[in-house]
């Protein structure tokens, strides 16, 4: 009998009687990270990384949130559980589960490049590895973060010289914070959509140090942000909200921007392939490092990616889950 099972409600550990990232309310939910496709409201009790707790409180409301640090094993009904950095967003963790010598790792979402704010991804040896495959095609190859940051800075300064406001579209949790050190270097003031600002405040109130940003409210005068920087979630793109920044230029920060067609269909003036997920090579590198006997491939290009792994003599199977569909990672249809 296998230690973790793909249950209709999520990934389930029968021995420990807990779920990992369930998509319906359960008694005990272990949460890899605070993105909405992994952390859902209504469970009786949660266990997450310390950094994730305030985000869950903000997004899911009050409840019972137990916390843990990285690399500190705890036991649930005899099952050894530990959290390890996943490098995806602040607080994001891989969850390692061990019982009677059998080791499973649920990686949640992850990337192996150290972005400076999410904690460096830690490879963990295991027997069974559950991986995402959001960008599991070889067309997805990221440039180093520094290079993309330089491109973004150039673009922002070019807009500034034309007195255009730079509207950067980024997921409010994760990408928005990741961009701040890059944007701060331009010396221009940074404004934020309410969704971005609220996450920012939540993080600051729980002790994180982040560059300063200003909220955009009804009172904010267009003179203030003209030629400067605005960070907004993708939902702002098609809304009337964005129009008050005219003249502006839109730059989308997402791995999907690697492909021209996506960028065009989103009506962006610029696209920056900056992702909080692994690229193709990153996925392969991470999987190889686990030395897992069996790999389970979830959200993304699971059928392609698992077929490829099998051809490379890595036993893999695809698993259909409800993950994926983070706001910034789905190109919206009209």
Partner 1 sequence: MVMKKTKQHQSYDMKHFAQLIWQLGTSTKTNAKIDALANYFAEAKQKDISWLIALFTGRRPKRTISAAHLQQWCIELTQHPRWLFDECYHTVGDLAETIALLLPPPEGESTQSSLADILASLKLVSTQNDEAKKQFILQHWQSMNTRERFVFNKLITGGFRIGISQKTMVNALAKFTQLDPAIIAHRISGQWDPSTTTPEQLLNEEIQQTDISKPYPFYLAYAIEGMPEHPDEWMAEWKWDGIRGQLIKRNRQFYVWSRGEELMTEKFPEYNALAEKLPDGTVLDGEIIPSIEQTPLSFNLLQTRIGRKNLTKKQLQEVPVTFFAFDLLEWQGQDIRTTPLAERRRILSSLIHSLNEPALILSKEVPFQSWQQLEQVRMHSRDNGAEGLMIKRLSSTYQTGRKKGDWWKWKIDPLVIDAVMIYAQKGHGRRSNLYTDYTFAVRSDDQLITFTKAYSGLTDQEIAQVDAFVKKNSLEKFGPVRTVKPELVFEIAFEGIAESKRHKSGVALRFPRINRWRKDKTVDDINTLEDLKKMLEQFG
Q: Which residues bind Zn ion (CB under 5 A)?
A: 35, 37, 109, 323
- When the beta carbons of 1 and 139 are compared against partner 1, the nearer one is 139
Task: Establish if 163 lies at the interface with partner 1 (CB under 8 A).
Answer: no
Task: Establish if 226 lies at the interface with partner 1 (CB under 8 A).
Answer: no
* Long-range residue pairs from 185-190, CB within 8 A, at least 24 positions apart, any chain: 185/153, 186/153, 186/156, 186/157, 186/160, 186/229, 188/156, 188/160, 188/227, 188/228, 188/229, 189/214, 189/224, 189/225, 189/228, 189/229, 190/214, 190/228, 190/229, 190/230, 190/231
Task: Establish if 237 lies at the interface with partner 1 (CB under 8 A).
Answer: no
> Are the CB atoms for 61 and 79 separated by under 8 Å?
no
Task: Establish if 103 lies at the interface with partner 1 (CB under 8 A).
Answer: no
- When the beta carbons of 109 and 115 are compared against Zn ion, the nearer one is 109
Task: Give the Å distances, CA to CA, from 202 to 55, 56, 69, 210, 289.
Answer: 7, 10, 19, 11, 35
The minimum distance between CB 139 and partner 1, in angstroms, equals: 4
The minimum distance between CB 89 and Zn ion, in angstroms, equals: 6
Task: Establish if 270 lies at the interface with partner 1 (CB under 8 A).
Answer: yes
Taking CB under 8 A as the binding criterion, the range among 46-54, 70-78, 135-143, 199-207 that sits at the site for partner 1 is 135-143
Task: Establish if 246 lies at the interface with partner 1 (CB under 8 A).
Answer: no
Using CB distances below 5 to 8 A depending on partner kind, what does residue 334 bind out of partner 1, Zn ion, none? Answer: partner 1
Neighbours of 40 (CB within 10 A): 19
Using CB distances below 5 to 8 A depending on partner kind, what does residue 323 bind out of partner 1, Zn ion, none? Answer: Zn ion
What is the spatial distance between Cα 269 and Cα 151, in angstroms, rounded to a whole number?
A: 13
Using CB distances below 5 to 8 A depending on partner kind, what does residue 127 bind out of partner 1, Zn ion, none? Answer: none
């Amino acid at each position: 009998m296998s230690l973790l099972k793909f249950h209709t409600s999520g990934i389930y550990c029968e021995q420990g009687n807990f779920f990992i990232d369930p998509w319906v309310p359960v008694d005990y939910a272990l949460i890899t990270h605070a993105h909405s496709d992994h952390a859902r409201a209504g469970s009786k009790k949660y266990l997450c990384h310390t950094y994730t707790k305030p985000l869950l409180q903000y997004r899911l409301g009050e409840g019972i949130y137990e916390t843990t640090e990285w690399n500190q094993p705890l036991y649930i009904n005899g099952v050894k559980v530990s959290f390890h950095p996943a490098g995806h967003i602040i607080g994001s963790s891989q969850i390692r589960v061990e019982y009677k010598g059998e080791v499973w790792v649920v990686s949640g979402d992850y990337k192996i490049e150290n972005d400076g704010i999410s904690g460096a991804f830690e490879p963990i040896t295991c027997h069974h590895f559950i991986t995402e495959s959001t960008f599991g095609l070889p067309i997805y190859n990221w440039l180093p973060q520094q290079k993309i940051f330089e491109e973004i800075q150039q673009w922002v300064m070019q807009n500034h010289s034309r007195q255009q406001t730079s509207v950067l579209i980024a997921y409010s949790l994760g990408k928005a914070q990741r961009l701040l050190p890059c944007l701060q270097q331009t010396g221009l003031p940074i404004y934020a959509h309410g969704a971005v600002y609220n996450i920012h405040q939540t993080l600051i109130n729980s002790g994180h140090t982040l560059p300063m940003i200003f909220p955009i409210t009804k009172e904010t005068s267009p003179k203030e942000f003209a030629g400067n920087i605005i960070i907004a979630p993708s939902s702002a793109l098609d809304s009337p909200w964005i129009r008050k920044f005219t003249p502006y230029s839109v730059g989308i920060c997402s791995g999907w921007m690697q492909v021209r067609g996506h960028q065009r269909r989103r009506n962006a003036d610029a696209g920056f392939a900056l992702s909080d997920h692994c690229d193709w090579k990153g996925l392969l590198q991470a999987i190889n490092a686990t030395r897992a006997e069996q790999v389970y491939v979830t959200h993304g290009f699971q059928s392609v990616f698992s077929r490829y792994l099998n051809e490379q003599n890595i036993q893999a199977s695809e698993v259909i889950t409800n993950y994926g569909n983070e706001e910034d990672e789905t190109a919206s249809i009209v």
